[in-house]
Structure 1
Amino acid sequence: MYLTSKQFDLLFFLYRHKGQVFTKEQIYENVWGYDNAPDASNLSSFIRKLRLKIEPHPDNPQYIITVWGVGYKFSGEEKP
């Protein structure tokens, strides 16, 4: 599978902190840095495109999980 450099950075960051929930701002800071942070819709787009590449069922993700009202986390747990 091909990932862009930012998709890889985002996946690696979330995977490295498996189970920890990050706000969008924390993701911006850690993946893009303050100077190059995308807006909220860009991050959602990055997440959506990454899910299309790594999730067996992108509409029901098992790896990159949205924590509503907070942000995102990586969960390596298999869903039944």
Structure 2
Amino acid sequence: NSNKDPALQPLVMDNVSNQIVEGNNSIVGLMVESHLGWGSQPIPKDLDQLQYGVSITDACIDWATTEKSIRSMHAKLQDLLP
């Protein structure tokens, strides 16, 4: 759990990977708060002020961080996956 801090999500993903490598077989998935851009934004009265690709709900990691974290998980887990 990253406690709604997107900066912690890559660390959580790494921790989950390590738990699986160490033999924890009760983990069957994880959810990542991810979007094109980092963070979140409030919904403005003038919708033209919305930033494209930035969440309007929970704060998210950006796409580059998402890709890097998923590739890191894959590298650690590829030999364990069917």
Which TM-score band applies after superposition, normalised by the shorter structure? 0.3 to 0.5
* Bigger strand fraction: 1
